Amino acid sequence: MLLTLELICLASSKLSQIKTPTHFNSRERYNRSNQTLTVLMLTYMSIRDEINHRCGEGRLYSLEPALPGIRLARTIFVSEDVNNALRRNDDIRFGMLRGQLDTFIGGGLISVAEAPYDKDKTAYIARLDPISDEAWQIRSIDPKPAIRVFGHFAETNVFVALTWRYRKELGGPGSKEWKDEINLCKAKWRNLFHPYKPHRGNDVSDYISGKYYLV
């Protein structure tokens, strides 16, 4: 709390040094000042701070390796919905999914599909359409029933898993069910992190480092 107050004071002092053009009316000057303050606050805070806050609130969970001795090379944070699914002790399918997520966390070799509709069926993680939304899916294809975990990257090697669905519930590519799930994923991101946007990159290496290959 003290750090937050210090940031507000610092941002406010910076704001006082910015001259607003006199041709703006009072409402325009107010809106412009608020926008500037938001930008300054984001400069002094980070998505990591927001993730830590959400974990402290119990709205987000850091996924630890299911097996001891796995070295953490990448990070997955999960929503309450995903966390509850992974904790199902009565369903071995989610235990298998849990182990597959360890492959990401432990820096294991993973296959990455950049094109939403032109990918190998064995892809571990794939972009979703539209690419501008920066939504991704982790594809647990074996054993059946197949599961999809939807989320966004917060930064390189940090994936935030927000929703999940059985593949059979999603219909064909581009279906309403796919679009609804992507929109739900985006809405959950906004609910947790607004005004921060998902991580954006120009190349797969901007999202994932270490051992991976394109499919």
Residues 78 and 169 in one domain: yes
| Helical ranges in the chain per DSSP H | 2-16, 26-44, 47-56, 80-86, 92-105, 176-193
- Per the structure, how many domains does the chain have? 2
Residues 124 and 156 in one domain: yes
Instruction: Tell me which of 45, 60, 76 is where a domain ends.
Output: 45
Residues 136 and 37 in one domain: no
Residues 117 and 202 in one domain: yes
Structural domain boundaries, residue 184: 48-214
CB 14 within 8 A of CB 40: yes
Residue 91: the pLDDT is 87
Residues 207 and 154 in one domain: yes
Residue 53: the pLDDT is 97
Q: Provide mean pLDDT across the span 178-189.
A: 97
Residues 96 and 37 in one domain: no
Residues 119 and 139 in one domain: yes
Residue 31: the pLDDT is 53
Q: Is 137 exposed, middle or buried (0-12, 13-18, 19+ CB in 10 A)?
A: buried
Residues 73-107: pLDDT tens digits? 999 999 999 999 999 878 899 999 999 999 999 99
Indicate the residue type of 2.
Answer: L
Minimum mean pLDDT among 32-46, 63-77, 101-115, 191-205: which range? Answer: 32-46
Residue 115: the pLDDT is 94
Residue 30: the pLDDT is 44
CB 44 within 8 A of CB 7: yes
Residue 44's pLDDT band (cuts 50, 70, 90):
very low
Residues 14 and 56 in one domain: no
Structure tokens belonging to residue 136: 């991704």
